[in-house]
Protein backbone atom coordinates (compact mmCIF):
# COMPACT_ATOMS: atom_id res chain seq x y z
CA UNK A 1 0.00 0.00 0.00
CA UNK A 2 1.37 3.39 -0.97
CA UNK A 3 1.05 6.52 1.15
CA UNK A 4 2.38 10.06 1.37
CA UNK A 5 6.17 10.32 1.28
CA UNK A 6 7.75 10.69 4.71
CA UNK A 7 9.60 13.99 5.12
CA UNK A 8 12.94 12.27 5.75
CA UNK A 9 12.55 10.25 2.53
CA UNK A 10 11.37 13.05 0.21
CA UNK A 11 13.29 14.08 -2.92
CA UNK A 12 13.24 16.64 -5.75
CA UNK A 13 10.43 15.25 -7.92
CA UNK A 14 10.87 17.65 -10.91
CA UNK A 15 14.58 16.79 -11.07
CA UNK A 16 13.88 13.05 -11.16
CA UNK A 17 11.11 13.53 -13.75
CA UNK A 18 13.45 15.54 -15.98
CA UNK A 19 16.18 12.92 -15.64
CA UNK A 20 13.77 10.16 -16.66
CA UNK A 21 12.55 12.03 -19.75
CA UNK A 22 16.16 12.46 -20.83
CA UNK A 23 17.56 9.03 -19.99
CA UNK A 24 15.06 6.33 -20.90
CA UNK A 25 14.24 4.96 -24.34
CA UNK A 26 10.47 4.92 -23.90
CA UNK A 27 9.44 8.22 -22.29
CA UNK A 28 5.84 7.96 -23.46
CA UNK A 29 3.43 9.41 -20.91
CA UNK A 30 6.16 11.13 -18.90
CA UNK A 31 5.58 14.67 -20.14
CA UNK A 32 4.52 15.97 -16.73
CA UNK A 33 5.89 15.51 -13.24
CA UNK A 34 4.44 12.46 -11.46
CA UNK A 35 2.53 12.27 -8.21
CA UNK A 36 4.89 10.45 -5.85
CA UNK A 37 3.84 8.10 -3.06
CA UNK A 38 5.89 5.82 -0.83
CA UNK A 39 5.25 2.16 -0.17
CA UNK A 40 4.89 1.46 3.54
CA UNK A 41 5.85 -2.20 3.23
CA UNK A 42 9.47 -3.26 3.64
CA UNK A 43 12.09 -2.04 6.05
CA UNK A 44 15.26 -1.82 3.99
CA UNK A 45 15.52 -0.12 0.60
CA UNK A 46 12.97 2.63 -0.03
CA UNK A 47 10.35 2.11 -2.73
CA UNK A 48 8.28 4.85 -4.36
CA UNK A 49 5.36 4.90 -6.77
CA UNK A 50 5.71 7.47 -9.57
CA UNK A 51 2.14 7.93 -10.72
CA UNK A 52 1.70 9.50 -14.17
CA UNK A 53 -1.72 9.97 -15.85
CA UNK A 54 -1.29 6.92 -18.09
CA UNK A 55 1.65 5.06 -16.60
CA UNK A 56 3.03 3.99 -13.22
CA UNK A 57 6.73 3.51 -12.50
CA UNK A 58 8.57 2.31 -9.41
CA UNK A 59 11.72 3.94 -8.02
CA UNK A 60 14.06 2.13 -5.61
CA UNK A 61 16.80 3.75 -3.53
CA UNK A 62 18.77 2.98 -0.34
CA UNK A 63 17.61 4.32 3.02
CA UNK A 64 19.19 7.34 4.63
CA UNK A 65 21.75 6.51 7.32
CA UNK A 66 22.38 3.09 5.83
CA UNK A 67 24.71 0.96 7.94
CA UNK A 68 25.88 -1.70 5.50
CA UNK A 69 26.52 -0.19 2.06
CA UNK A 70 26.97 -3.61 0.45
CA UNK A 71 23.37 -4.44 1.39
CA UNK A 72 22.03 -1.51 -0.66
CA UNK A 73 23.84 -1.88 -4.00
CA UNK A 74 21.34 -0.47 -6.48
CA UNK A 75 23.47 -1.27 -9.52
CA UNK A 76 23.74 -4.91 -8.44
CA UNK A 77 19.99 -5.17 -7.86
CA UNK A 78 19.26 -3.56 -11.23
CA UNK A 79 21.75 -5.80 -13.06
CA UNK A 80 20.49 -9.03 -11.52
CA UNK A 81 16.92 -8.33 -12.59
CA UNK A 82 17.95 -7.16 -16.06
CA UNK A 83 19.85 -10.40 -16.67
CA UNK A 84 17.23 -12.66 -15.11
CA UNK A 85 14.31 -11.24 -17.06
CA UNK A 86 14.92 -13.23 -20.30
CA UNK A 87 15.04 -16.59 -18.45
CA UNK A 88 12.77 -15.92 -15.45
CA UNK A 89 9.62 -14.05 -16.53
CA UNK A 90 8.55 -13.07 -13.01
CA UNK A 91 11.11 -10.24 -12.80
CA UNK A 92 9.82 -6.67 -13.34
CA UNK A 93 10.94 -4.80 -16.47
CA UNK A 94 13.91 -2.59 -15.64
CA UNK A 95 13.81 0.98 -17.04
CA UNK A 96 16.88 2.94 -15.96
CA UNK A 97 19.73 3.07 -13.45
CA UNK A 98 21.28 6.30 -12.13
CA UNK A 99 24.60 6.62 -10.32
CA UNK A 100 24.61 10.44 -10.15
CA UNK A 101 24.45 11.27 -6.40
CA UNK A 102 23.44 14.88 -7.07
CA UNK A 103 19.83 13.80 -7.70
CA UNK A 104 19.01 11.69 -4.64
CA UNK A 105 22.28 11.53 -2.75
CA UNK A 106 22.62 7.90 -3.79
CA UNK A 107 22.24 5.52 -6.71
CA UNK A 108 18.69 4.55 -7.67
CA UNK A 109 16.84 2.66 -10.37
CA UNK A 110 13.42 2.79 -11.97
CA UNK A 111 11.27 -0.09 -13.23
CA UNK A 112 7.81 -0.69 -14.61
CA UNK A 113 5.12 -1.36 -12.05
CA UNK A 114 3.73 -4.90 -11.89
CA UNK A 115 -0.04 -4.80 -11.57
CA UNK A 116 -1.71 -7.22 -9.18
CA UNK A 117 -2.31 -8.08 -5.55
CA UNK A 118 0.42 -8.12 -2.91
CA UNK A 119 -0.56 -9.95 0.25
CA UNK A 120 0.28 -8.04 3.42
CA UNK A 121 -0.51 -8.96 7.02
CA UNK A 122 -4.13 -9.80 6.22
CA UNK A 123 -5.68 -10.56 2.83
CA UNK A 124 -7.75 -7.81 1.18
CA UNK A 125 -11.48 -7.90 1.85
CA UNK A 126 -12.19 -8.94 -1.75
CA UNK A 127 -9.55 -11.70 -1.83
CA UNK A 128 -12.26 -14.37 -1.93
CA UNK A 129 -10.19 -17.55 -2.31
CA UNK A 130 -11.49 -20.77 -0.79
CA UNK A 131 -9.15 -22.84 1.43
CA UNK A 132 -8.54 -25.16 -1.50
CA UNK A 133 -7.64 -22.24 -3.75
CA UNK A 134 -5.37 -20.78 -1.07
CA UNK A 135 -3.61 -24.14 -0.88
CA UNK A 136 -3.11 -24.10 -4.64
CA UNK A 137 -1.79 -20.53 -4.47
CA UNK A 138 0.86 -21.74 -1.99
CA UNK A 139 1.83 -24.56 -4.34
CA UNK A 140 2.08 -22.09 -7.22
CA UNK A 141 4.26 -19.77 -5.12
CA UNK A 142 6.71 -22.52 -4.22
CA UNK A 143 6.71 -23.68 -7.84
CA UNK A 144 8.05 -20.21 -8.72
CA UNK A 145 10.82 -20.66 -6.12
CA UNK A 146 11.65 -24.04 -7.65
CA UNK A 147 11.71 -22.43 -11.10
CA UNK A 148 14.12 -19.75 -9.85
CA UNK A 149 16.40 -22.35 -8.28
CA UNK A 150 16.41 -24.21 -11.60
CA UNK A 151 17.69 -21.22 -13.61
CA UNK A 152 21.07 -21.86 -15.24
CA UNK A 153 23.33 -19.09 -13.83
CA UNK A 154 25.52 -19.23 -16.93
CA UNK A 155 22.56 -18.84 -19.27
CA UNK A 156 21.41 -15.85 -17.20
CA UNK A 157 24.87 -14.28 -17.20
CA UNK A 158 25.06 -14.48 -13.42
CA UNK A 159 28.05 -16.74 -12.82
CA UNK A 160 29.90 -13.84 -11.21
CA UNK A 161 27.11 -13.27 -8.69
CA UNK A 162 28.41 -15.61 -5.98
CA UNK A 163 31.66 -16.88 -4.53
CA UNK A 164 31.33 -20.60 -5.25
CA UNK A 165 31.28 -23.48 -2.77
CA UNK A 166 31.19 -22.77 0.96
CA UNK A 167 28.06 -20.64 0.89
CA UNK A 168 26.62 -22.07 4.12
CA UNK A 169 29.86 -21.47 6.02
CA UNK A 170 30.15 -17.90 4.70
CA UNK A 171 26.56 -17.15 5.70
CA UNK A 172 26.98 -18.42 9.25
CA UNK A 173 30.18 -16.42 9.69
CA UNK A 174 28.89 -13.32 7.90
CA UNK A 175 25.54 -13.00 9.67
CA UNK A 176 27.18 -13.68 13.03
CA UNK A 177 29.60 -10.84 12.35
CA UNK A 178 26.75 -8.54 11.28
CA UNK A 179 24.85 -9.25 14.48
CA UNK A 180 27.82 -8.49 16.71
CA UNK A 181 28.41 -5.19 14.89
CA UNK A 182 24.75 -4.13 15.11
CA UNK A 183 24.11 -5.29 18.69
CA UNK A 184 22.64 -2.75 21.12
CA UNK A 185 22.49 -3.06 24.91
CA UNK A 186 18.82 -4.11 24.99
CA UNK A 187 19.04 -7.39 23.02
CA UNK A 188 20.52 -10.81 23.74
CA UNK A 189 24.03 -11.91 22.82
CA UNK A 190 22.93 -14.80 20.54
CA UNK A 191 26.29 -16.43 21.32
CA UNK A 192 24.72 -19.83 22.05
CA UNK A 193 22.78 -19.73 18.79
CA UNK A 194 25.77 -18.62 16.74
CA UNK A 195 27.96 -21.32 18.30
CA UNK A 196 25.36 -23.98 17.56
CA UNK A 197 25.06 -22.85 13.93
CA UNK A 198 28.83 -22.92 13.51
CA UNK A 199 29.10 -26.41 14.98
CA UNK A 200 26.14 -27.90 13.09
CA UNK A 201 26.40 -26.38 9.62
CA UNK A 202 26.00 -28.81 6.70
CA UNK A 203 27.79 -28.72 3.38
CA UNK A 204 26.08 -26.90 0.50
CA UNK A 205 23.49 -29.12 -1.19
CA UNK A 206 24.03 -27.30 -4.50
CA UNK A 207 24.64 -23.79 -5.89
CA UNK A 208 21.91 -21.90 -7.75
CA UNK A 209 20.34 -18.46 -8.13
CA UNK A 210 18.55 -17.65 -4.87
CA UNK A 211 16.29 -14.72 -4.03
CA UNK A 212 17.13 -14.54 -0.31
CA UNK A 213 13.92 -12.69 0.61
CA UNK A 214 11.20 -14.89 -0.88
CA UNK A 215 7.97 -14.02 0.96
CA UNK A 216 4.32 -13.67 0.04
CA UNK A 217 4.56 -9.90 0.43
CA UNK A 218 7.31 -9.89 -2.20
CA UNK A 219 5.08 -11.69 -4.70
CA UNK A 220 2.60 -10.00 -7.04
CA UNK A 221 -0.50 -12.12 -7.69
CA UNK A 222 -2.09 -11.78 -11.11
CA UNK A 223 -5.03 -9.33 -11.18
CA UNK A 224 -7.16 -11.80 -13.15
CA UNK A 225 -6.19 -14.88 -11.10
CA UNK A 226 -4.98 -14.41 -7.50
CA UNK A 227 -3.83 -18.04 -7.38
CA UNK A 228 -1.16 -17.27 -10.01
CA UNK A 229 2.11 -15.46 -9.31
CA UNK A 230 2.71 -12.65 -11.81
CA UNK A 231 5.96 -11.29 -10.41
CA UNK A 232 8.64 -11.42 -7.73
CA UNK A 233 9.91 -8.19 -6.14
CA UNK A 234 12.81 -7.02 -3.92
CA UNK A 235 15.94 -8.64 -5.35
CA UNK A 236 18.44 -6.74 -3.20
CA UNK A 237 19.78 -9.87 -1.47
CA UNK A 238 19.76 -12.22 -4.48
CA UNK A 239 22.95 -14.20 -5.09
CA UNK A 240 24.29 -17.63 -5.99
CA UNK A 241 23.91 -19.91 -3.00
CA UNK A 242 22.33 -22.92 -1.36
CA UNK A 243 18.61 -23.35 -2.16
CA UNK A 244 17.77 -24.75 1.29
CA UNK A 245 19.17 -21.60 2.86
CA UNK A 246 16.75 -19.63 0.65
CA UNK A 247 13.88 -21.82 1.81
CA UNK A 248 14.91 -21.45 5.45
CA UNK A 249 14.96 -17.68 5.08
CA UNK A 250 11.52 -17.71 3.45
CA UNK A 251 9.93 -19.86 6.14
CA UNK A 252 11.29 -17.71 8.98
CA UNK A 253 8.47 -15.32 8.02
CA UNK A 254 5.91 -18.13 7.63
CA UNK A 255 3.87 -17.76 10.82
CA UNK A 256 1.10 -20.34 10.87
CA UNK A 257 -2.24 -20.51 12.68
CA UNK A 258 -1.01 -22.63 15.63
CA UNK A 259 2.09 -20.56 16.44
CA UNK A 260 2.32 -18.93 19.87
CA UNK A 261 0.77 -15.58 20.59
CA UNK A 262 4.04 -13.63 20.61
CA UNK A 263 5.28 -15.00 17.28
CA UNK A 264 1.86 -14.33 15.77
CA UNK A 265 2.18 -10.63 16.66
CA UNK A 266 5.09 -10.35 14.22
CA UNK A 267 3.16 -11.83 11.27
CA UNK A 268 3.56 -9.80 8.05
CA UNK A 269 1.72 -12.08 5.61
CA UNK A 270 -1.56 -14.04 5.84
CA UNK A 271 0.06 -17.46 6.29
CA UNK A 272 -2.42 -18.23 9.09
CA UNK A 273 -5.62 -18.35 7.02
CA UNK A 274 -7.36 -21.64 6.15
CA UNK A 275 -5.70 -23.47 3.28
CA UNK A 276 -2.20 -22.07 3.77
CA UNK A 277 0.67 -24.54 3.82
CA UNK A 278 2.19 -25.26 7.18
CA UNK A 279 5.98 -24.88 7.31
CA UNK A 280 6.29 -28.66 7.27
CA UNK A 281 4.07 -28.90 4.19
CA UNK A 282 6.12 -26.19 2.47
CA UNK A 283 9.39 -28.05 3.13
CA UNK A 284 7.92 -31.36 1.93
CA UNK A 285 6.44 -29.81 -1.21
CA UNK A 286 9.58 -27.89 -2.14
CA UNK A 287 12.07 -30.71 -1.51
CA UNK A 288 9.88 -33.16 -3.44
CA UNK A 289 9.77 -30.81 -6.45
CA UNK A 290 13.54 -30.20 -6.25
CA UNK A 291 14.42 -33.88 -5.76
CA UNK A 292 16.22 -33.13 -2.48
CA UNK A 293 16.17 -35.78 0.26
CA UNK A 294 15.93 -34.12 3.67
CA UNK A 295 15.14 -35.58 7.09
CA UNK A 296 13.41 -33.42 9.74
CA UNK A 297 16.54 -33.37 11.92
CA UNK A 298 18.49 -32.06 8.92
CA UNK A 299 15.94 -29.28 8.37
CA UNK A 300 16.55 -27.96 11.90
CA UNK A 301 19.74 -26.15 10.87
CA UNK A 302 17.99 -24.26 8.06
CA UNK A 303 15.05 -23.37 10.30
CA UNK A 304 17.28 -22.00 13.07
CA UNK A 305 19.51 -20.16 10.62
CA UNK A 306 16.49 -18.58 8.92
CA UNK A 307 15.20 -17.27 12.26
CA UNK A 308 18.68 -16.05 13.26
CA UNK A 309 19.14 -14.25 9.96
CA UNK A 310 15.73 -12.60 10.43
CA UNK A 311 16.86 -11.47 13.88
CA UNK A 312 19.99 -9.90 12.41
CA UNK A 313 17.97 -8.07 9.75
CA UNK A 314 15.60 -6.76 12.43
CA UNK A 315 18.53 -5.70 14.61
CA UNK A 316 20.29 -3.90 11.76
CA UNK A 317 17.09 -1.94 11.14
CA UNK A 318 16.63 -1.26 14.85
CA UNK A 319 20.26 -0.10 15.05
CA UNK A 320 19.39 2.73 12.65
CA UNK A 321 16.44 3.77 14.82
CA UNK A 322 18.43 3.39 18.05
CA UNK A 323 21.15 5.70 16.71
CA UNK A 324 18.59 8.19 15.30
CA UNK A 325 19.57 7.54 11.69
CA UNK A 326 15.84 7.17 10.97
CA UNK A 327 12.76 8.42 12.79
CA UNK A 328 10.38 5.85 11.32
CA UNK A 329 8.33 4.76 14.34
CA UNK A 330 7.63 1.40 12.74
CA UNK A 331 11.15 0.38 13.80
CA UNK A 332 10.80 1.46 17.43
CA UNK A 333 10.03 -2.00 18.85
CA UNK A 334 12.13 -4.16 16.54
CA UNK A 335 14.40 -5.11 19.44
CA UNK A 336 11.47 -7.09 20.90
CA UNK A 337 11.48 -9.14 17.71
CA UNK A 338 15.20 -9.80 18.20
CA UNK A 339 14.67 -10.86 21.82
CA UNK A 340 11.86 -13.24 20.90
CA UNK A 341 13.74 -14.85 18.00
CA UNK A 342 16.67 -15.59 20.32
CA UNK A 343 14.24 -17.44 22.58
CA UNK A 344 12.69 -19.29 19.64
CA UNK A 345 16.06 -20.40 18.22
CA UNK A 346 17.26 -21.69 21.59
CA UNK A 347 13.93 -23.46 22.17
CA UNK A 348 14.19 -25.32 18.84
CA UNK A 349 17.77 -26.35 19.58
CA UNK A 350 16.90 -27.45 23.12
CA UNK A 351 13.89 -29.50 22.04
CA UNK A 352 15.88 -31.20 19.27
CA UNK A 353 18.52 -32.18 21.85
CA UNK A 354 15.89 -34.03 23.89
CA UNK A 355 14.78 -36.25 21.00
Mean pLDDT score across all residues of the chain: 92
Exposed/middle/buried for residue 187 (C-beta within 10 Å: 0-12, 13-18, 19+): buried
Cα–Cα nearest to 34, from 18, 49, 22, 50:
50
Q: Is residue 272 part of a domain?
A: yes
Domain boundary (85, 112, 139) is at: 112
142 and 106 inside one domain: no
* Domain with 83 in it: 2-112
Q: Helix, strand or coil for residue 75?
A: helix
Q: Is residue 157 part of a domain?
A: yes
Which residues are 110's β-sheet partners? Answer: 59, 96
Domain boundary (79, 112, 145) is at: 112
143 and 277 inside one domain: yes
The mean pLDDT of 307-333, rounded to a whole number, is 91
211 and 325 inside one domain: yes
234 and 104 inside one domain: no
308 and 213 inside one domain: yes
144 and 102 inside one domain: no
Q: Helix, strand or coil for residue 50?
A: strand
Examine the pLDDT at 1 and tell me if it is beyond 90.
no
Q: Is residue 124 part of a domain?
A: no
Residue 3's pLDDT band, with cuts at 50, 70 and 90, is: confident
48 and 181 inside one domain: no
253 and 325 inside one domain: yes
- Kindly report the CATH number assigned to the domain that includes residue 301: 3.90.1200.10
| Rounded-to-integer distance, Cα 126 and Cα 80, Å | 34
Question: What residues have CB less than 8 Å from 190, skipping those under 6 apart?
Answer: 176, 179, 308, 311, 342, 345
pLDDT at 44: 66
Q: Is residue 121 part of a domain?
A: no
Q: Are 16 and 33 in contact (CB under 8 A)?
A: no
Q: Is residue 196 part of a domain?
A: yes
Residue 353's pLDDT band, with cuts at 50, 70 and 90, is: confident
The mean pLDDT of 105-112, rounded to a whole number, is 92
Residue 34's pLDDT band, with cuts at 50, 70 and 90, is: very high
pLDDT at 68: 43
Residue 99 has a CB neighbour count (10 Å cut-off) of 11
What total of structural domains would you count in the chain?
2
How much of the chain exceeds pLDDT 70, in percent? Answer: 95
Q: Is residue 92 part of a domain?
A: yes
pLDDT at 41: 58
Domain boundary (112, 140, 166) is at: 112
Examine the pLDDT at 67 and tell me if it is beyond 60.
no
The mean pLDDT of 169-175, rounded to a whole number, is 98
Identify the weakest region by mean pLDDT among 35-44, 89-98, 99-108, 275-284.
35-44
Cα-Cα-Cα-Cα dihedral sign, residues 235, 239, 244, 248: negative
Examine the pLDDT at 137 and tell me if it is beyond 50.
yes
Question: What residues have CB less than 8 Å from 35, skipping those under 6 apart?
Answer: 50, 51
pLDDT at 72: 66
Identify the weakest region by mean pLDDT among 35-39, 69-73, 86-90.
69-73
152 and 11 inside one domain: no
pLDDT at 64: 66
64 and 176 inside one domain: no
250 and 144 inside one domain: yes
- Kindly report the CATH number assigned to the domain that includes residue 63: 3.30.200.20
The mean pLDDT of 228-244, rounded to a whole number, is 96
Q: Is residue 120 part of a domain?
A: no
Residue 290's pLDDT band, with cuts at 50, 70 and 90, is: very high
Q: Highest-confidence range of 55-69, 113-127, 173-187, by mean pLDDT?
A: 173-187
The mean pLDDT of 43-68, rounded to a whole number, is 81
184 and 290 inside one domain: yes
The mean pLDDT of 225-245, rounded to a whole number, is 96
Q: Is residue 215 part of a domain?
A: yes
Amino acid sequence: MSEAVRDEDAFDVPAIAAWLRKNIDDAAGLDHDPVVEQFAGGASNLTYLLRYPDRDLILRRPPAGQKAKSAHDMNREFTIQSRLKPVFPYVPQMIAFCEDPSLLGSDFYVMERLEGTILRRDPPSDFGLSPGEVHQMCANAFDVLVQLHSVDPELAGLTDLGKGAGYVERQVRGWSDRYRKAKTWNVGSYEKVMTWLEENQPADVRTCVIHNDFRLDNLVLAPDDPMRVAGVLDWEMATLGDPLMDLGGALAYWIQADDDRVFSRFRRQPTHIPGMFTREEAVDYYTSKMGISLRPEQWLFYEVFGLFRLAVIAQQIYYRYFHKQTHNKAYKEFHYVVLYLDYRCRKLIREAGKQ
